[in-house]
Structure 1
Amino acid sequence: MTHNVLVVDDEPKLCDLLASALGQNSIQVFTAGNGLHALKVLECEDIDLVISDWRMPGMDGPQLLAEIKSRFPQLPVIVMTAYSTVKNAVQSMRNGAFDYIAKPFDIDELDITVSKALQFRDILKDNQRMRAELDEHQQIDSLIGDSPSFRRVLHAIDSVRESNATILLTGESGTGKEMVARAIHKHGNRADKPFVAVNCAAIPEGLLESEMFGHRKGAFTGAVADRVGRFMQADKGTLFLDEIGEMPLALQAKILRALQERVIEPVGDPRERKVDVRVIAATNKNLLDAVANREFREDLYYRLNVFPIPLPALRERVEDIAPLARHFAHTLGATAGKRFTGFSAEALQAMAHYSWPGNIRELQNCVERATIVASGAVIEEEDLPAYLFASNAGTSGALVTEGSVPADLEAALAEVEKAYILAALAQSNGVQAAAAQLIGISERSFWYRLKKLGIHVDKIVR
């Protein structure tokens, strides 16, 4: 396992010496010439250990130690000093240092001290991961349902979880693609290794390559230190590439090479790095359409589509709405200190008749609001958000019934579209980006539709 260590000293030769000594032990070394520079590195990089000089110009060792303990309380710090007195050592330990070493130091002694500090850091990270898994327990347990379409998903998960095959999860926004990816990882043969999630649509295009593969110091403006990319972070574990359909074409070729040859090249570093990563990709786009439109590489599509798992929309598994809603009410109610026994028949009927454009994510949000409003042990129809009923009423007149045809098709479709957008805006409290995500379209497309339909967000009644 590779660890990242930050060495802070105003003597460049000492930084180089420590980088050379520590680099022999699968340690990636970052360096900083002063305390302020060190804090900038800590804000950008995932550092496991800081080794800092005691006396430095500007922000000295004690000041840096205080800042680290304030901002990164679980990050171990080893203090170096040529003025190794009992007083300095005791003071540094009292202020939160893990240990101290005296200059000039013995390399073997340094290795032992660093090894102990990194073991301590690994224990803390394991504890954090276990706590995170407990937090995610609600999400993983939310793989609830007995509908035929969802049983097929559960069967697919069970079939592929022990393999290393690349998986492509498809489905509308909010159908639980990341939940499924985490369940596959947790119940597979890499469960004790990292699970690293990347939202390809949330990272600026100019930073995406560095984010994926890492970079060397000085590779571009702003690259003040080496950076480990997501592929290396997920080594031996699982890399979840969400919204893979939004990845720029230029980077798709490099992702393809990483999948085919299991090697990566950090930006600014010609040396290849081997990686052992199980990739799970997800998209709400039709990638075959994107391939036809030359927006997505055909060879990458087939490399990703080794084991496809399509996730059904919630409206396609109506029989699962009630058990999912009960599960959310139970877990969310417990968090809020409330105990719910279930939903009234009228409330369940209202939820079953709603189209849920935001799918499971929207259902959870709806139930969370209901648990806040409800005064009794049973969640009633009036406890549900008003947009459930407004959307149903707004769309019912526009839908085609047996034996009827709309006189104006464009107007009828516009009414349906408007009803969905108003429901999404109501659920997202008027936040347009969140509303766009709920109905599975881009923000630009959402803004265009607002203008086309004459919807003014500031006039929406919530």
Structure 2
Amino acid sequence: MTRVLIVDDDPVQLRLTAEVANRAGFKPLLATGGEQALSILRDDRNIGAMILDLVMPDLDGMGVMEVMAREGLNTPVIIQTANASLETVVTAMRQGAVDYFVKPVAPERLIISLRNAMKLDALEAAVRSERSRRSGTFTAADMIAKAPTMARVLSLCAKAAKSTIPVLIEGETGVGKELIARIIQGTGDRAGKPFITVNCGAIPPNLVESILFGHKKGSFTGATSDQAGKFAEAHNGTLFLDEVGELPLETQVKLLRALQEGEIEPVGASKPERVNVRVISATNRRLLNLAKSGEFREDLYYRLNVFPIYVPPLRERLEDVPALVAHFIARFAAEAGKRVIGISPVALDLLASYAWPGNIRQLENAVYRAIVLTDGAFLESVDFPQIVAQINGRELAASAIETAPTQQSPIHIDDALGRQRYAPEAPAAIDRFIAPTGEVTALAEIERAAIVFAIEHYGGRMSQVARALKIGRSTLYRKLHEYGLAETLLSDAA
């Protein structure tokens, strides 16, 4: 369920706004001040939107947006305040707010604003990612890979980007091997340079050599002009050889020479040509096994496998499923012109419990199909009949579809079902025994705080304080001196 952070120091307004968001199907998170809101945003980068009050005692709304811009917190901000001045509106929009309204606001206006903000944020993220991919500046920040199992992958990408070492990316089909290659290119010296992709398994065997290395006019029937190959196109950039294990053996010999000597020989050419290309290869089969069976040249294997990176399948990084689903919903809803803004918790749990043999590509296609099928604002389990069928069986899937509520016949107002509501989430309070550093507070500090609290509670009546703490008065006075409290507290009590 898409979460909304609501920030307001007025408890009544906080509850009213949370109730509106709740009824619209969002999961409200509550904060009573700017500092608390920033703490929540730093801990959770997946919050859909924030409704922010401008006037607050600790840190006002403008201050919150300034910190967000400085720290790169991109959560869409909707401003609400009692101040309707034009200057305030202009200032808020310049700070990055996506919408602005004056209290009290109509629930319909608030809901529309939330939905527009979430669509805008998700689409902007998708556009930024696609723009980076096309410009050759794709980085780890553009890839959804927050699962712990991906930490080592991204760490290896950062190391590989610092040199031109040959990289072999291994992983199942659909795990995102090309994106890993783009991260290596986009964070290295060749960022912004050509990134040429070749699917070695999709090229006819008789054309592989021509496509990779190019050909000269008249070198074979149909060669009516000189044609630059993929190596030449990738000059000074990166060549990504996807499914490199599918290359014919005779082509592997020329590829080995290109890697070792840094030169290629186009079909029909009289002399080789120098190229400056970084080669990143990928495979969904173990090249070592192919080398052992004789399907892949062993010397080429060792040349490609200098810096191996293994990308885990989606079933080993299910923590990324919610973010991936949200990304795909935003993208495909815009493409299909559908008003879909999220997914129900039950449907999300369904997707997170599936093994995904086709990995991210299968998840992408499943969400696309669900977007086309659904008529609601949120994707439900019935929009994923194939996944339900594979997890629970076809009979249960068919039963779920048949019993799903539809709008094929009129529903009387007395029989209309309400939307499921969710309790607002208040951020967990920091334990009094935990210091700001995250460590357990020292025993002396805890004892000092208890003594100060007891003296304030009993109005400085030291006899009652000693009895309540179960210590003698002499012990109490000794501890006051130990903790440097004697002069302050005893003078106040007097």
Give the direction of change, closer, same or farther, for the CA distance of 1:137–1:314 in structure 2 (3 Å limit).
farther
User: 1:132 Cα deviation (Å)?
Assistant: 8.7
1:341 to 1:286, Cα distance in 2 relative to 1, 3 A: same
Structure 1 residues not aligned, in runs of 5+: 1-129, 396-462
Deviations 1:164-213 (A, max 9, x none): 11111111111111122122222321122111111111111111111111
Structure 1 SS opposite 2:210: helix
1:392 equivalent in structure 2: 391
Give 1:270 deviation, angstroms.
2.6
Q: Which residue of 2 aligns with 1:99?
A: none
Cα deviation, 1:31-58, whole Å, max 9, x if unaligned, reads xxxxxxxxxxxxxxxxxxxxxxxxxxxx
Structure 1 residue aligned with 2:292 = 292
Structure 1 residue matching 2:203: 3-state secondary structure: coil
How far apart, CA to CA, are the structure 2 residues paired with 1:137 and 1:194? 11
Q: Is the 8 A contact 1:145 1:324 kept in 2?
A: no
Q: Does structure 2 retain, via aligned residues, the 8 Å contact 1:212–1:231?
A: yes
Q: Quickly say closer, same or farther: Cα 1:187–1:340, change in 2 above 3 A.
A: farther
Q: Deviations over 1:312-364 (max 9, x none)?
A: 11111122212211121123223334454432121011112222111001111
Once the two structures are superposed, the pairs formed by residues 267-416 of structure 1 within 5 Å of their partners are 267-338=267-338, 340-384=340-384, 386-393=385-392
Identify unmatched segments of 5+ residues in structure 2.
1-129, 395-494
Match of 2:221 in 1: 221
Cα separation, 2, equivalents of 1:138 and 1:252: 29
Q: What secondary structure, in the 3-state scheme, does the structure 2 residue paired with 1:222 have?
A: coil
* CA distance in 2 between partners of 1:141 and 1:387 (Å): 32
How far is the alpha carbon of 1:373 from its aligned partner? 2.4
- 1:252-267 → structure 2 map (5 Å cutoff): 252-267=252-267
The DSSP-based 3-state class of the residue aligned with 1:228 is: coil
Q: Within 1, Cα distance between the matches of 2:177 and 2:274?
A: 28
| Residues 140 and 179, structure 1, Cα contact 8 Å, conserved in 2 | no
What SS is found at the alignment partner of 2:201? coil
Query: In structure 2, how many angstroms separate the alpha carbons of the residues matched to 1:137 and 1:380?
Result: 36
The structure with higher relative contact order (CA 8 Å, sep 6+) is 2
Contact 1:138 1:331 (8 Å CA) reproduced: no
CA separation of 1:345/1:357 partners in 2, compared to 1, >3 Å: closer, same or farther? same
Greater mean alpha carbon deviation, residues 225-234 or residues 131-140? 131-140
Distance 1:368 1:140 in 2: 24
Residue 261 of structure 1 deviates from its aligned partner by 0.7
The residue number in structure 2 matching 1:210 is: 210
Q: With structure 2 as the length reference, what TM-score do the two structures score?
A: 0.51
Q: Which letter maps to 2:321? A: I
Displacement after TM superposition at 1:388 (Å)? 0.5
The answer to whether the 8 Å contact 2:144/2:324 transfers is yes
Q: Aligned partners of 2:310, 2:245: CA distance in 1, in Å? A: 15
The alpha-carbon deviation at position 216 of structure 1 amounts to 1.2
Indicate the percent of aligned positions where both proteins have the same amino acid: 50
Q: Is the 8 A contact 1:215 1:227 kept in 2?
A: yes
Q: Could you tell me how far apart the structure 1 residues matched to 2:217 and 2:299 are?
A: 32
DSSP 3-state at the match of 2:365: helix
Partners of 1:153 and 1:276 lie apart in 2 by 26
* Letter of the structure 2 residue corresponding to residue 387 of structure 1: Q
320-329 vs 271-280, which moves further = 320-329
Residue 292 of structure 1 aligns to a residue in which SS? helix
The answer to whether the 8 A contact 2:137-2:185 is kept is: no
- Give aligned pairs, total: 265
State which structure, 1 or 2, has the greater radius of gyration over its C-alpha atoms: 2
Map 1:46-445 → 2, pairs under 5 A: 133=133, 143-338=143-338, 340-384=340-384, 386-393=385-392
Q: Residue type matched to 1:252 in 2?
A: Q
Q: Partner letter of residue 222 of structure 2?
A: G
Q: Secondary structure at the match of 2:202?
A: coil
Given that residues 265 and 273 in structure 1 are in contact (C-alpha distance below 8 angstroms), is that contact kept between their aligned partners in structure 2? yes
